[in-house]
Amino acid sequence: MTKFDDLETEIYEWARQNAESIGCKLNPDYDIVAIAIKGMANNKKKYGEQYCSCREITGNKTEDRKIICPCVYRSRELEQRGACKCALFVK
C-alpha cells in the first residue's frame, strides 16, 4: 500500500468531500484513486494547478482551465458512463 504525501492527502480529502457534496463517491478501487491523486499532485507541483491526471495539458492556460479537477467533463461522464474519465469519481 502506497503512503500519500501531504499534498496527496490534501487532494484526497478535497476529492472525498467534493464527491460527497455532489452525491457521488470516490472509486472503491484504492489503486485507481491513488493513481489519480498522485497524478493531480504531480500536476499541481509541476504546473501550479490541480489538473486532471487523465487529460492532456496543452500549455494554454485558458484551455487548460477546463481540466482543473473537477473538470468540466465530469458531470456528463458521470451521467453517461457512471464514472469520470480517470475513474476517480463514480456514481
User: How far apart (Å, rounded) are the C-alpha atoms in residues 6 and 12?
Assistant: 10
**CA-based R_g, the chain, Å:** 12
| Cβ atoms of 51 and 43 closer than 8 Å | yes
Mean pLDDT of 21-41: 97
| Cβ atoms of 27 and 60 closer than 8 Å | no
User: How far apart (Å, rounded) are the C-alpha atoms in residues 49 and 68?
Assistant: 7
Instruction: Identify whether 1 is part of a domain.
Output: no
Taken in order 37, 67, 48, 21, is the CA torsion positive or negative?
negative
SS3 at position 25: strand
Mean pLDDT of 6-33: 96
Q: Which domain holds residue 28?
A: 6-90
Instruction: Identify whether 41 is part of a domain.
Output: yes
What are the tens digits of pLDDT across the range 36-88? 999 999 999 999 999 999 999 999 999 999 999 999 999 999 999 999 999 99
Query: How many domains, the chain?
Result: 1
**pTM score, whole prediction:** 0.90
Q: Which CATH number is 16's domain given?
A: 3.90.460.10
DSSP 57: -
